[in-house]
Structure 1
Amino acid sequence: MTKYARDEFDRVPETSTRQGVHRAVAASRRRSLAPILAAGCVALAIGLVAFLILPKLGFSAGQAAAVTAGGSASASASSSPSATSTVSPSPTPTSPEPAGTEAAAAPSASPSTTPSATAAAVDKTQPVTIYNATTTAGLATRVGGTVTSDGWVLGETGNWGGVPQQTSVIFYSGVAQKDNAEALGALLGVDTLVDSAEFNMPLVVVLGPGYQ
């Protein structure tokens, strides 16, 4: 009890709404927490969607995590926006290669020196003697025309008076005339070549039976 008498200020209506400074402060704090709570609920919902529903739709775990991270970032940005600056990495300077590197790396292609097969020289100035060892008249003269047309020098032509031959033969005198005999045999179709010193002529063609 107080020793002072009651006055008009002591009479307070029971139905009056009492408001004080402390109530206003509490209300303002509750209002400031509302956006943060809303952002948290949004992030939680996005996380549940990403980890429970997206894998069933075919998204991988990495894509779901990216969706969750993107949703969380957007939620935090909406609650407390802050100015972010992106710094692009500076390109790393490449040191120029010294001159002559490519030339040193690529080996120089040296031309291959493969010995070319040189055909043996055929001396068509050597006289060719032709004998007919068949019963066909004028065969030596006809074959002599073929030899002359090919550039050979035609020697003596006539009938064969030696040992009867079973086939056509080209006699050549010494190794030096072997290439000439082979070229002459290819021209006339004679395969039999005989090295003989019996004749005093370098090349002798004897046309045997069956030669056409």
Structure 2
Amino acid sequence: MTQLVKDRFDDVPRSSGRVGAHRAEAPGMNGWVVLLWSLVAALVIIVVGIFVALVMMGRIALFPDADTPGPSAPEVQGVVDTTYSVIVLNATSEEGLDVQLRDTLLNAGWTADSVTTGLAESPEFADTTIYYASTTDELAAIGLADLIGGAQVEQSDFYADPNDPEQKQLVVVIGLDRTAAAPESAETPAE
């Protein structure tokens, strides 16, 4: 009979009764780690369950409708206050627009000495804008914008008198949207 050849595994002492890695204890898996992973899994399952329940009850919308508008700010109504002095500046190359707007204001109740006209520094101002200096003047500026047929309203102290900061004054800068060559809006009134 042939003899078996000795190799390095023949010298390993056989102190343990077990043989093979499948019988060895799992390294690092002690009781605390198993408990911690169990708690994390339970927490995730509970959170997902609550979320699904809220979606099913309609308290959470996954995909909100784009058609439903949110709460909108109420539109501020302006007040026409003829106690304000008004400066009308023509910021276009078309002459006479400031005089036409002055006549509109005089017909609305302003006195001749409270409305002054002039030319703006730039003849290429895009949109007609009403400037007011203080937040207390905002409603009067909105009222004036409504009176002249719509204009932008913006707070700025650029035109405010530095010697009299309490002066009640509005400044109308006429833009290219008021010229005869202004592009007409897409909406035309029905006849």
Q: TM-score surpassing 0.5?
A: no
TM-score, with structure 2 as normaliser: 0.45
Select the structure with the greater relative contact order (CA < 8 A; seq sep ≥ 6).
2
**In proportion to residue count, which structure has more helix?**
1
Larger Rg: 1
